[in-house]
Amino acid sequence: MNRIILMRHGETIDTVLNVISGHRDVSLTEQGFFQAHNVSKQLSGFGIKSIISSDLTRAKRTAEIIAYELGLLPPKADMRFRERNWGKFEGMPKRCKLSRKDWEKPPEGETSTDFHIRVMTAFNELSDLTMVVTHAGPIRCILNTFSIPENTLAPGEYVCVDF
């Protein structure tokens, strides 16, 4: 059995404003930095061997803090763990209603199928006791693939996937 720890990056200004970040490279807020430090205390007994993160600043910085606090090597960035590219919808309020067509393929964005393939290809290369600091979308994608009830993690929250 393998265990992978999935964590959503800490809070950002886009989180506070409730807008779609996608590939926008936004930084952590003070609360986001606090969340990264706090979660490392919770994870100290998990036996994490390595950390991989999305290459976007909000995930990378969260992962760097946790790796440092746990005494691990610096995390490796993997762009395949990026949030979905929402194209022209990035920066818009999350409450905007998307048509089925726009949901499947946002203008100048990434199809839902391409997103799923990208994330799951990266996930399937992970080894036991790896932590992945990523975004809400990739986490939902992975949980859905394993038929784990969909759960949108709040910034700074994590979930373990045993398979």
List residues with catalytic annotation. Answer: 9, 83
Phi then psi for residue 40, to 5 deg, are: -65, -30
Q: Using the CB atoms, write b or e for 25-61: b if 16+ within 10 Å.
A: ebebbeebbebbeebbeebeeeebebbbbbebbbbbb
CA distance 132 to 4: 7
Q: Residue 28: CB partners within 8 Å, gap ≥ 6? A: 9, 10, 11, 12, 36, 57, 58, 61, 62
**140 in Cβ contact with 133 (< 8 Å):** no
